[in-house]
């Protein structure tokens, strides 16, 4: 079974940047569709971004132009580059293999 471990979260000021990483093990990363979702307290989990095994990407409207999803198949790692961060981006960010299999999440807090 695939295991996913997110890292790179933290505290950042509005307008700042973070890069999240998701290290995968137990599966063939290059053959997987991978996605990022996030969940803020009191909110439902929402889709953020997805990347296919061929490298095609799609984003939620709320993050288009600010976030970039990418993958390094040689390192079995998924990334989410987050720029121009806003307080409403504050959430626990989860990577997942589509369908199913979720990481434990990494906290992103955007605050002054």
- Residue 98 scores a pLDDT above 80: yes
Asked if residue 8 has pLDDT above 80, the reply is yes
Confidence band for 41, pLDDT divided at 50, 70 and 90: very high
Residue among 27, 17, 26, 28 nearest 79 (CA)? 17
**If you ran DSSP here, which 8-state letter would residue 63 be given?**
T
Least Cα distance to 35 among 109, 107, 103, 108 occurs for 103
pLDDT category at 1 given cuts 50, 70, 90 is: confident
Residue 31 φ/ψ, nearest 5 degrees: -95, 5
Distance between CA atoms of 52 and 107, rounded to whole angstroms? 24
């Amino acid at each position: 079974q695939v295991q996913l471990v997110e890292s790179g979260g933290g505290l950042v000021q509005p307008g700042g940047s973070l890069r999240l990483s998701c290290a995968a093990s137990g599966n063939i990363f290059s053959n997987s569709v991978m996605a990022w979702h996030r969940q803020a307290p009191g909110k439902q989990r929402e889709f953020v971004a997805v990347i296919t095994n061929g490298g095609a990407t799609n984003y939620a409207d709320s993050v288009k132009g600010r976030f970039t999803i990418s993958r390094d198949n040689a390192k079995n790692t998924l990334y989410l580059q987050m720029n121009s961060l806003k307080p409403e981006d504050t959430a626990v960010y989860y990577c997942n293999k589509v369908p199913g299999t979720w990481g434990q999440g990494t906290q992103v807090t955007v605050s002054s």
